[in-house]
Amino acid sequence: MRVVIVDDEPLARERLRRLIAEFPGYEVVGEAGDGESALELIREEEPDVVLLDVRMGAVDGLQVARSIAEEETPPAIIFITAYAEHALSAFDAQGDAYLLKPVRKEKLREALLRVRKLSRAQRPHAVPAPGARPKREYVLATTREGLVRVPAEDIVYFLADQKYTTVCHLHGEVLIEESLKTLEEDFAPWFLRVHRKALVATRFIAGLERGKTDESQHWLRVRHAHTLLPVSRRRLAEVRRFLTEDGADKGEPSGKSAEQHADDA
């Protein structure tokens, strides 16, 4: 699991980092010393869990938690503080666990295991059950030509950008105002979330590849699409698992960047 540590005390961050290093399967992917930096880091790294100090500067841990709770796929939150009286406020701010300083190794292990179980229970299955169908059979979009119905079978991917979501389908593209969270719930059996902004029809997934300039960035090749789609680090393991289980093209060539592929299409 990918972990971000947020605390305005460098020694506290160092202690947490050393403790987590003793737990197999956990990786600290970033640290922040204030609320504003924390929000930026969390949105960039998309961690599975955030160890979050309650009392910080202008933007405290409770404000950070409330802000990221509004994201499409928020991470689990483990609040960490020296003040027991903050417990109720922490849980009101969507906290999944609460630890008091100085953090004990076993208590931290218990909290991480608890949020890991929650994460697994909430994760949608990458491969749909045989015969499973989505709740909805189509999306409706308003275009210059009037109202257009796009069947679920024709949708290649959904890509969110602020207020609107692009629906790429076999015959073109349309814009709708639905959130990816709603679309993921309604079309879950046939679609896989690969990024907080991207939801892809599993039957059109062709393969995975690394970026040319940044090999930590991965991109998804999708049939009937002219551009590669970003895969977040948080979703990478699930995408790889789907490709392995489904028997799709599992190659990850690094010879071309996403931009070069887009130009070639």
pLDDT at 211: 79
CA distance 238 to 222: 16
- State the residue for tokens 């929000």: 39
pLDDT at 155: 96
CATH class held by domain 138-264: mainly beta
Give the CATH architecture of domain 2-122.
3-Layer(aba) Sandwich (3.40)
pLDDT at 223: 93
Can you give the residue ranges of every domain in the chain?
2-122, 138-264
DSSP count for the chain of H helices, then E strands: 8, 15
Task: Assess whether the region 2-122 and the region 138-264 belong to the same CATH fold.
Answer: no
Structure tokens at 38: 């924390």
Per DSSP, the three-state class of 99 is strand
List pLDDT tens digits, range 192-205. Answer: 999 989 999 999 99
Strand order in the sheet with 218-222: 205-210, 218-222, 229-231
Please count the other Cβ atoms lying within 10 Å of the Cβ belonging to residue 185: 13
* Confidence tier at 246 by pLDDT (50, 70, 90): low
CA distance 49 to 17: 13
